[in-house]
Amino acid sequence: MAREGKMNSAVAIHLTPQEQTALQKNVRSRKTSIRLIERSKIILLAADGLSNIEIAEQLNISAHKVGRW
């Protein structure tokens, strides 16, 4: 049960402007792998305060996958 609770909420993430810029570049780049783009999007959305479930719905992936990143 405790694990299930963790799955629902993303860890609070605070990005520096440089980190945010680097992640946004990953998302926009045509040379970035799909996996890295997905991870970057997860981190950016978590930094915006979204829960794992909200991130999963927005990216059309499982909350379990979001919880790993």
> What's the structural domain count of the chain?
1
Residue 29 has pLDDT above 50, yes or no: yes
- Residue 49 gets the label, from left (phi > 0), alpha (psi -120 to 50) or beta, of left
Rounded to 5, what percent of the chain is helix, strand, coil?
Answer: 70, 0, 30
Residue 4 has pLDDT above 50, yes or no: no
Residue 42 CB partners (closer than 8 Å, separation 6+): 55, 59, 66, 69
pTM of the model: 0.82
Which domain, by its residues, includes 42?
A: 2-68
